[in-house]
Amino acid sequence: MMKIDELKELLLDELARCKGRASLFMEINGEIIEFNSNHVYQSASLIKLPILYAALRLVDKGVLSLKKLVPIRETDEVGDTGVLQVLMVDQLSVQDLLALMIIVSDNTATNLVIDEIGMGEINSKIALLGMDQTVLKRKMLDFNAIKNGNDNFTTARDTVACLKEGTAGSTLTNHSKGIFQTLLKQQQLKDKLRACLDEPRIEAGNKTGELPGVEHDCGFIFDEKTQIHVAILIDQLNDPEAGRTTIRQIGKHINDFICRDMTRTKQI
């Protein structure tokens, strides 16, 4: 059976060889493995996790309804990831927008959720989680905001804090935690952290983030005996595939750690 110290050595070696500025924070059954975990990065689409969390907090408080219909105008549509930009719909429920925001990283849906909740409300919920180095300052694909010095930032440590609270914390109801976890499990963008996981033998959910020179992924990886929350953030990449490869290898090492333990348990 691979020990956590062996897993740590493998992960740190992968990160040290990465052809970019890399960081990791992982909690595995209460033990921490970290590498530059407080380094601040452009969040890319990882910022959608605290937006989801903030929405579900408001649902639990009765301030926001998942069934509320939100109008969609042609002027709301933005490009890159997602499907709303090509669908002929003029309204969707908050629940549908949250699903699109997470499972296909829909930027139009994300911006509509930000408008519905308010950027200030989202940042207040981020602060309540103690995510001191995470901030939402712009909508998705607002490049003018970036030029004016307003961008979205986070760290590997902060991202795991949000993941843990959304899946296993005390500030959301069980129903909302179930929504949070289910949406991440239904994620369609699985070519990094989850690419080498032995699913459905292992239960996993994730959220990716990409920008030019930036490759992120984070998620939870569970089996009967192991609970892992992990975030890997990488930037300063000349070749995006190098970053994706590093994240895939980290996922493979985690898979080997869990599956070897599972195999040993069955043999006993």
Q: What is the dihedral of CA 179, 180, 184, 188, to 10 degrees?
A: 50
pLDDT, position 80: 74
pLDDT, position 172: 98
Residue pair 155/234 in contact (Cβ under 8 Å)? The answer is no
Contacts 24+ apart (CB under 8 A), 8-17: 8/33, 10/253, 11/35, 11/250, 11/253, 14/246, 14/249, 14/250, 14/253, 15/232, 15/246, 15/250, 17/246
Dist. CA 155–CA 234, nearest whole Å: 10
Task: Give the tens place of pLDDT for each residue, 61-84.
Answer: 999 999 999 999 988 888 777 788
89 contacts: CB under 8 Å, gap ≥ 6: 72
Core vs surface per residue 154-179: b (16+ CB within 10 A) or e:
bbbbbbbbbbebbbeeeebeeebbeb
DSSP 51: H
Q: Residue 207: exposed, middle, or buried by beta-carbon count in 10 A (0-12, 13-18, 19+)?
A: buried
Taking only Cα atoms into account, the Rg of the chain, rounded to an integer number of angstroms, comes to: 18
**pTM to 2 decimal places:** 0.93
Beta-ladder partners of 21: 235
1 contacts: CB under 8 Å, gap ≥ 6: 260, 261, 264
Task: Give the tens place of pLDDT for each residue, 192-202.
Answer: 999 999 998 99
Could you tell me the CATH superfamily of domain 4-267?
Answer: DD-peptidase/beta-lactamase superfamily (3.40.710.10)
pLDDT, position 227: 95
Q: What's the residue count for the chain?
A: 268
Backbone angles phi, psi at 82, to 5 degrees: 115, 175
Dist. CA 100–CA 108, nearest whole Å: 9
Average pLDDT value over all residues in the chain: 94
How many C-beta atoms lie closer than 10 Å to residue 151's C-beta? 19
Kindly list the domain boundaries of the chain, sorted by start residue: 4-267
pLDDT, position 262: 54
Q: Which residue has the tokens 């909302």?
A: 176
Portion of the chain with pLDDT greater than 70, in percent: 97
What is the rounded average pLDDT of the residues 100-121?
97
